[in-house]
Chains A and B, each alone.
Chain A
Amino acid sequence: MNLAAIAIALLQLVLFVFLSPLLIGVIRQVRARLEGRAGSGIWQPWRDVRKLVAKDPVRAADSSWMLAAGPATLLVSSLLLCVLLPLVGTLPLPLVPSDLFVIVSVMLIGVVALALVGLDAGTAFGGMGSSRHMTVAALVEPTLLLAVYALSIPAGTSTLSLIVETRLQNPAVIISPVSLLAMVALAIAIMAETSRLPIDNPSTHLELTMLHEAMVLEASGRDLAWLELGSWLKLAALLGLLSNLILPWGVLTDFSLPGVLVGLAAVTAKILLLGVALSVGEVFLAKVRLFRVPELLAGSFALALLAVTASYLVA
């Protein structure tokens, strides 16, 4: 059983490393088509990574080892997310269950690494991006934890794989009002965590609108490649979690070879579908002003709190 869980975890890791650039490619391509552009094709992110790895990184004279260690840390934190989250299957790893709080803290390691990279560059842009990024991260955290707290109540545990299994066995939970409120709150929190619209515009290089881009401005070569790949992996892993919470069907619960294939196909299809939906949604959204972001996050926090308290009153 343990071996099976380890095999699934490895499989998730490999799948997501290949899948996440593809997901970004699909998102960008769909958006380009909707906006009437030809787009650069769905394999462009792959080509970008290959190009970046084959270049000499350049760093400023006063910057430190953080400029190289930060990107690697972000990548490792995102890889760990892919290992720990219940994406292809819900088989629990021995001693390291997919505990909600552990997963959030793994994600926060990546958040901190990125913020420190932004500061280490020693430019105003990097600092600005880092400051805004951390402010948003601080304000998102209550929503994130409360939303998954609400989801954890029907399952009676904060282990994500058990939450997904409960939803699979008892689909009525998925469309309960508590779960819907929590899912909306969680979706907003994930959009903020992964620097998507309406909190951050991932396709901009305009100084006043950017969070993520401002921090990676000084990174180049393989460091930039790790930063990009790490962010993509995080987006793919979180979308995978979201899709498994909304549509848990197809997730592997007992190890079997056809089950693995179904699990792989299901999670790939779900993530790409969610990616297309995200892309279509973003066409209709404008980025909100930075100082309106707290209002949005306060709204999602209210939803999450409502979800938790409602689960005590309704259930």
Chain B
Amino acid sequence: MTPVEAGMLGQVALLAAAVTTALLVPSDRWRSRVSGILCALLATGGVVTGAIALTGGRGSLTIPTALPLDPLVLSPDRLGGLVMVIVSVVGVLASLFGIGSARVASASRTAWASMAVFLFGMQLVPAATDVVSFLLLWEIMTLGSTALLLAHHATRGTVASALVWYSAMSQLSFFFVLAGLAVLAGATGGTGFAALATLDPASWQASLAFVLLLLGFGGKAELVPLHVWVPRVLPEAPGHVAAAMSGAMVNIGVYGALLVCVRFLPNGPAWWGVLIMVLGGVSALYGILQASVASNLKVLLAYSTTENMGLVFLGLGASVLLRGDHATGAADAALLAALLLMVSHAVFKATLFLGAGAVARSTREMNLDRLGGLGSRMPWTAAAFGASALGAAALPVTSGFVAEWMLLQALVHGSRVGGEVVSVTASVAMPLAVAVIALTAGLALLTFVKAYGIAFLARPRSEKAKQAREVPIIMRIPLIIGATVVIGLGLLPGPLAEALASAVGPAFTPDVRTIGLAGVDARGIDVVLDPTTFVALAVLALAPVLAAILVSSRRHPTRVSALPWAGGGSRLRPRMQYTATSYAEPLVRVFDDVLRPTRDVEVTHVGESRYLVERVHVEQTVSDVIETRFYRPVLDLAQRFGILARRAQNGSIHRYLSYSFLALLAVLIVVSL
């Protein structure tokens, strides 16, 4: 038995143990402890197995079936191992956090048992090597997450409607994946992944399958227009569940897209690349625009996932397009950038959601407009959230920065090879993509300055925020680990890039080396980045500043005053600070046409006077345009048919008898033909 096989069997055993204990342990508190630890162990098993597979370890589990199909084979390759590691690391963090944070509904039997099933499904999807086991594990993952969310329906009324959206959208994406894989299997006559890869990418079946699979996997990766469930479901989920869904599950969608573009149908035509880029670019812009105007912290993070996944797909699309144009160096760099983005997003988004979970636990408030001043009350959470927010805003020295830097470099170097223009499509697509990424990055900066600045700085805007206390140590540990990984991967991009480059082989061989201490040297496009030297430089620049501050602060200590400048007036009430809504107000105005906000201003005057105001009530809602313009009409149409159908079903026994008679008649006629 190879280590990989042992690892996978170990995961099955741990799943059984976790589900059994979750069902058997009676008290909520002990259940959270035992099941949380078992879930963390299950995820650790995924980390170990994935790491062995990533470094080249092999092994397979074969499950024979009675069906006339190829047997189900689980055998992760390097790429599968990579994805397994990513989702499992997030799983470990989420499980540890869950030990401390799970309460009432999220500590119930259903919740912990389905958490284990969810993690297991996610970890083993990347191990599948044939269509049937892939779809089976995919559904285990989806069902696990649905049941996990369902555990909360008793405590909150909004969960039910969110879950209807979630189930409908995940089944829609499952349908697309199923249809796409069926087309591939039908065209090649096999269900094993090796057989699927024999299809000629230029055939029409390949294009059909590509479009279907892109839609399906894009839906799982929360891309526009299949993202509508995200801003509904994630705010309803507790922090650790949202972290597992948004940090880990979306990567399965990316993995699917990678399977298509790297394993099944490499060297696809240029328009595939353009299609992926358009889908990714629109998602990135739309996601970050919605995130930047959101006032609910979890909605903000949920939309930011759409943005990040959009960037991943933008990189993937650029790599397909550039490969078609024979700009191989840049194409490989773009693929690498997509992988880097996926890795960095998983870590920083999981940590951000855990941070949001910590804030929710301490304040029971997710509306940024009522938070504030948490930095001094929850220093650990603030530090972890701040570091991950730096990653999300793609600032140095975080993994997010390295990923976005690589993507931009790939695009800038992609349109020309040796001074020659590669193609007209590329020379239009690359500048536009750079502009989209730049605008996205700018808005992401604003979004996370808002999220961190409004929630953790300034004065508390409500009593709940004032009473906030730091979360217990078991919840702090995953937060700190997550933040450390965000910074660590940003400091050591060289080894990371080498590992990622090995994962997409042998079809793709991005030429990257480690340079300096742990910097990355992308030889295909001839660019280097060494964050450690960069940090050393920053420290050198900081030294004199720090010395000056120390000398000056000894002579002139900082005085704290209850009434400092305050614009010359008295210090106003905390409610009069800028809030998240007012922070995004200029942006709402600028992007009025896309966001279509509805604003209600209600002024109550004192007595008869028009000049004295007693109360002003302002309400602003920004709706999801895609939901109101695209899904609503379809749903309304479906409902109209439903009402029509209701007329046919009025409960009269005579009518049903006549229906059966007509049906029988129809059958007889058909048979006699």
Contacts and interface: CB of A to CB of B under 8 A. Distances in A.
Interface of A: 13, 53-64, 66, 68, 72, 75-76, 79-80, 83, 93-97, 99, 101-102, 105-106, 108-109, 111-112, 115-116, 119-128, 130-132, 134-135, 137-142, 144-146, 149, 152-153, 156-158, 207, 217-218, 220-222, 226, 290-291, 294, 301, 305, 308-309, 312
Given A60-B564, A123-B567, A153-B416, A83 B541 contact: yes
B458 A62 contact: yes
B445 A57 contact: no
Given A57-B559, A120-B453, A142-B438, A127 B396 contact: no
Contacts of B413: 158
Given A109-B395, A116-B457, A124-B576, A134 B449 contact: yes
B537 A222 contact: no
A152 B439 CA distance: 19
Contacts of B558: 56-59, 68, 221
Contacts, number: 241
A66 B382 CA distance: 12
20 contacts: A58-B558, A60-B560, A61-B560, A75-B545, A95-B515, A101-B405, A102-B405, A105-B395, A109-B395, A127-B577, A131-B585, A138-B292, A139-B442, A141-B439, A141-B442, A145-B435, A158-B409, A218-B564, A221-B558, A309-B431
Nearest to A17: B544
B421 A119 contact: no
B545 A79 contact: yes
A64 B537 contact: no
Nearest to B568: A217
Nearest to B458: A122
Given A56-B556, A125-B567, A220-B564, 8 more contacts: A58-B558, A59-B560, A79-B545, A80-B538, A105-B394, A105-B405, A217-B567, A312-B415
Given A59-B561, A226-B545, A112 B576 contact: no
A146 B564 contact: no
B396 A64 contact: no
B445 A152 contact: no
A124 B413 CA distance: 44
Contact of B376 (A64, A108, A301): A64
Given A56-B557, A59-B560, A112-B445, A95 B453 contact: no
B448 to A, nearest CB: 8
A131 B584 contact: yes
Given A101-B408, A308-B431, A108 B445 contact: yes
Contact of B537 (A55, A60, A80, A111): A80
Contacts of B428: 309
Given A138-B445, A145-B408, A312-B427, A158 B527 contact: yes
A123 B577 contact: yes
B119 interface: no
Contacts of A226: 545
B586 interface: yes
Given A131-B585, A132-B586, A156-B416, A95 B395 contact: no
Count class of interface residues, chain B: 35 or more
Given A95-B515, A127-B582, A105 B458 contact: no
Contacts of B552: 53, 222
Contact of A130 (B453, B460, B565): B453
Closest 7 CB pairs of A and B: A127-B578, A138-B442, A141-B442, A119-B453, A122-B458, A312-B427, A142-B438
A49 to B, nearest CB: 11
Given A96-B537, A309-B431, A131 B578 contact: yes
A99 B528 CA distance: 9
A158 B572 CA distance: 48
B571 interface: yes
A145 B434 contact: yes
Contact of A149 (B421, B434, B454, B530): B434
B405 to A, nearest CB: 5
A121 B453 CA distance: 10
Contacts of A79: 541, 545
B632 interface: no
Contacts of B405: 99, 101-102, 105
Most interface-central of A76, A120, A125 (chain B CB within 10 A): A76
A123 B442 contact: no
Contact of A301 (B435, B562, B579): B435
B435 A60 contact: no
Contact of A146 (B434, B548, B583): B434
Nearest to A128: B578
B445 A305 contact: no
A174 B632 CA distance: 54
Interface in B418-446: 419, 421, 424, 427-428, 431-432, 434-435, 437-439, 441-443, 445-446
B401 interface: yes
Nearest to A118: B453
A309 B530 CA distance: 31
